[in-house]
Each structure stands twice: as C-alpha cells, then as structure tokens.
C-alpha cells in the first residue's frame, strides 16, 4: 500500500506527497515471544534515539526512532540486501533543498522481539547528514508504521523503550495526559509559548529543544529587539544545513507542566519544512528527554512524567563553530562571527587533524560536540589544523554565547 503522508521531522523534515495519516502497510505484526511486547535498549546520540533493527532477517542495523518519520533505509542497505527500487520521488528537507528518493518493499522489519511484515520503505541517502552530524552508523529510520501499532514507553533515564499493544499497560503513575491530533502522521499538541497558545509537533527526531517556525516568528516579532542571540549552523537535514538564530529564556507550558529558560531555535526563512504556516513549531528531544514519555498513537495521547533530567538546563554550544566528519579529518563547516572559534583564527573549510594531541579519527564527533556545550567557560582546547599543505596550531577558549539556561517546574 502506498503511504500518503507528510512527514515533518527535525532530523529529515522530509515531505512526501499527500497529507492524510494512514494505517501502516503491514498486516498484524508477530512476536517471537508471542505476546507482542518488547523491551528495547537504545543509545541516545546527539539527542537521537538509535536502536538495533533487522531488515529481512539480516543485521542488526542502526536505525533512528522518529515520531516524525516513516520506514526508511539507505541505498547502502538496499544494495546489500538486493532490494528492488521503484517510483522515484523528490523529498523536501529542512535544509531547503530537494534530494532524490524512491520506494522499496521489505519482507520484514524487526526491533526487539517484534517483527512487522510486508513493509514499504523509502530509500534515501543519509550520507550528508551522517557526515555533518558525525554519526558512526545511520542505516535507516523507524516511525509511523511502528508507532501506529504499538504504545511506546520511552524511558530516557534508563535508555529503554517498552513496546506494548494498546490497552495492555497502564500509563506511568502521576503522568500528565496530553491529547494530540495528527498533522499528517506526526503528533500535534496544543501548548503555550511565553503565554501564547499554539500548535506544536512532537518530534523525537529533532535534536533541539524547541524550534519556532518562520511564519510564527514573523507574526510575533521574534526575536525581540533586546533578546540576546547569535546566528549559526544548528544541524543538517535533507537538503542541506539548517541555519538559525539561537535564543534562550523561552517558557513552554504543556498542560500543567512548565519549562523555563529553554534554548530556542529560530530557523532562517527558506529552511523547507520550517516555513510551514499551520503550526508554531516543533518540540524536540531536548525537551522530551526530560520526561518519562508514553507515545500512544492508537489512543492519540502523549503521557508526560518529569524524569531525572527535568530540572536540568539546556546545554548551549560554547565554541562558536560546527564540525563535520570528513574521513580521518574534521571539517569546519560554520564559524560564528566574533565567537570563540573566530577568535582562535579558525575559518570555514579548515581541516582539523588533532584535538588536544589526539588524532580526530579516534574521537566520536557527537560526544565532542557535547563536550563543547558542557565543559565550563575558560576551558582551553588545542587544535592542529590542515590548510592546504600547511599544519597550523590553533587554541580555542570556550565561553558562553548566550546567558545560562535554566529549567524549572512551576
């Protein structure tokens, strides 16, 4: 069955023709345990949930679990499994460009003890995203087809997801029920941003905390003139880099739950899906990981219970540049004017070969990017940079680019 859908994801922000939420393309799933439940460990990398998935009985492969997505496999996996491809289509992305894609058919997709049969999937390359984000593996994506059949209890503190059939398990005690509607096939909830009501999609594939779409920015004059800010590359989606203005201090209320001091992303106009006019913005994993989260597509309800990370503030980059993986080197893709990297003499297209004396091919880029946000101001980092045939040392001193972010419950 051809899915007619529109996906809006922070990771991909892909748009596929059609707008209706549709049933999954599988018949009833099966379980090796016979009870159609599964407890699946995950790894949170750069605020994305990575799980092990088997495709047509082979693997495991590394997939992102994304409430804003659908079944996707990369061309590399399609080639490895000898999958036939059909029906080319262009995908729009958050980066503003279009990329080629097509469909394929899968005999099975398995996560934990659950197997979904007769799945349709999109084939699209993640290579530019993988390099820009520095993911070691990124083989595909699981989304609506799985969520539409199971209730997912996501425990960010324990790094585990429990899948169950609708109605089989009670929600977490003392959790807040948040009803949602579908925007295409992604959950859309009503929330309040700085006291103003608006519709927000809920997107586990969005690495940020809060993204405010450009029409809403224009409507409410954001950012206000006296708001501290800086402009930078903030990620990479289908179609290219995502450039945005970053501010802190926003207050987001979801029902009785209120989070203050949220690091907020205001994408530039022309960033594809972030130009949508029918929603105010996207709530990403930077916010969601602060909760025990139940995602109940069949019941059209999210359940939120503050977790161990609820009182933690957002970590904001203190380096003022963006690095991408390029083989055994790291490429400087973006430098914030007058930021720490700029002061250190780093420029776009520099190739970094060593960090604090260690070769960069031994460094996990997402973990290093995290370090650039959580190491204290005044931390010094030494780089060895290749420019053509020259090797030049550069020293960078971390400092705050925005006022410190704090999160609280009111």
- The pLDDT assigned to 98 comes to 79
Placement of tokens 């969520």 in the chain:
147
- The pLDDT assigned to 31 comes to 54
Whole-angstrom Cα distance, residue 122 to residue 389? Answer: 42
Coil vs helix vs strand at 406: coil
**Half-sphere exposure of residue 344, counting CA atoms within 13 Å on the CB side?**
28
* Residue 112, token pair as written in the block: 């934990």
338 contacts: CB under 8 Å, gap ≥ 6: none
Whole-angstrom Cα distance, residue 56 to residue 108? Answer: 5
| Element (DSSP H or E) covering residue 263 | strand 257-267
Whole-angstrom Cα distance, residue 209 to residue 206? Answer: 8
Does residue 249 contact residue 171 with C-beta atoms inside 8 Å? Answer: no
Does residue 183 contact residue 278 with C-beta atoms inside 8 Å? Answer: yes
**CA distances for 300 relative to 70, 106, 116, 179, angstroms:** 18, 27, 21, 6
Q: Report the length, in residues, of the chain.
A: 410
- The pLDDT assigned to 35 comes to 58
**CA distances for 122 relative to 2, 14, 89, 102, 283, angstroms:** 10, 11, 9, 6, 25
Count the neighbouring beta carbons within 10 Å of the beta carbon of residue 23.
12
Q: How far apart are the first and last CA of the chain?
A: 46
Coil vs helix vs strand at 284: coil
Whole-angstrom Cα distance, residue 330 to residue 352? Answer: 5
Placement of tokens 């790894």 in the chain:
43
* Residue 365, token pair as written in the block: 């880029």
Does residue 201 contact residue 187 with C-beta atoms inside 8 Å? Answer: yes
Listed as ranges, residues in the chain with pLDDT below 70 are 1-36, 92-96, 404-410
Whole-angstrom Cα distance, residue 144 to residue 289? Answer: 20
Count the neighbouring beta carbons within 10 Å of the beta carbon of residue 197.
10
- The pLDDT assigned to 4 comes to 34
Of 336, 340, 327, nearest in space to 383 by CA: 340
Q: How large is the C-alpha radius of gyration of the chain?
A: 21
Give the domains, in start order, of the chain with CATH numbers. 30-164 (2.40.70.10), 176-306 (2.40.70.10), 321-397 (2.30.42.10)
Whole-angstrom Cα distance, residue 89 to residue 103? Answer: 8
């Amino acid at each position: 069955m051809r899915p007619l859908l529109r996906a809006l994801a922070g990771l991909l922000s892909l748009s596929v023709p059609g707008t209706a939420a549709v049933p999954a393309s599988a018949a009833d799933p099966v379980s090796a345990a016979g009870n159609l439940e599964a407890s699946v460990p995950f790894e949170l990398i750069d605020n994305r949930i990575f799980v092990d998935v088997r495709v047509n009985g082979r693997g495991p492969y590394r997939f992102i679990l994304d409430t804003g997505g659908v079944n996707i496999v990369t061309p590399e996996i399609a080639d490895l499994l000898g999958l036939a491809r059909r029906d080319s289509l262009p995908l729009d992305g958050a980066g503003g460009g279009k990329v080629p894609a097509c469909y394929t058919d899968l005999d099975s997709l398995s996560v934990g003890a659950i197997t979904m049969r007769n799945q349709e999937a999109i084939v699209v390359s993640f290579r530019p995203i993988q390099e820009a984000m520095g993911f070691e593996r990124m083989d595909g994506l699981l989304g609506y087809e799985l969520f539409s059949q199971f209730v997912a209890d996501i425990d960010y503190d324990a790094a585990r997801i429990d899948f169950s059939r609708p109605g089989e398990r009670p929600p977490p005690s003392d959790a807040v029920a948040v009803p949602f509607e579908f925007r295409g096939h992604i959950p859309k909830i009503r929330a309040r941003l700085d006291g103003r009501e608006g519709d927000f999609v809920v997107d586990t594939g969005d690495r940020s905390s809060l993204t405010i779409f450009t029409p809403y920015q224009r409507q409410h004059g954001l950012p206000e003139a006296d708001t501290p800010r800086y402009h930078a590359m903030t990620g990479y989606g289908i179609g290219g880099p995502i450039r945005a203005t970053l501010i802190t201090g926003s207050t987001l209320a979801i029902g009785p739950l209120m989070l203050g001091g949220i690091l907020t992303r205001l994408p530039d106009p022309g960033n594809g899906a972030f130009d949508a006019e029918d929603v105010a913005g996207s709530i990403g994993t930077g916010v969601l990981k602060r909760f025990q989260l139940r995602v109940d597509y069949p019941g059209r309800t999210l359940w939120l219970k503050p977790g161990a990370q609820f009182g933690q503030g957002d970590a904001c980059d203190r380096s003022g540049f963006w690095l991408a993986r390029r083989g055994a080197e790291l490429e400087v893709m973006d430098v914030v004017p007058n930021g720490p990297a700029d002061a250190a003499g780093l420029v776009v297209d520099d190739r970094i070969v060593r960090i604090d004396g260690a070769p960069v091919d031994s460094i996990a880029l997402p973990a290093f990017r995290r370090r650039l946000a959580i190491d204290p101001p005044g931390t010094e980092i030494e780089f060895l940079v290749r420019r053509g045939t020259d090797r030049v040392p550069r020293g960078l001193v971390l400092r705050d680019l925005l006022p410190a972010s704090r999160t609280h419950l009111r």
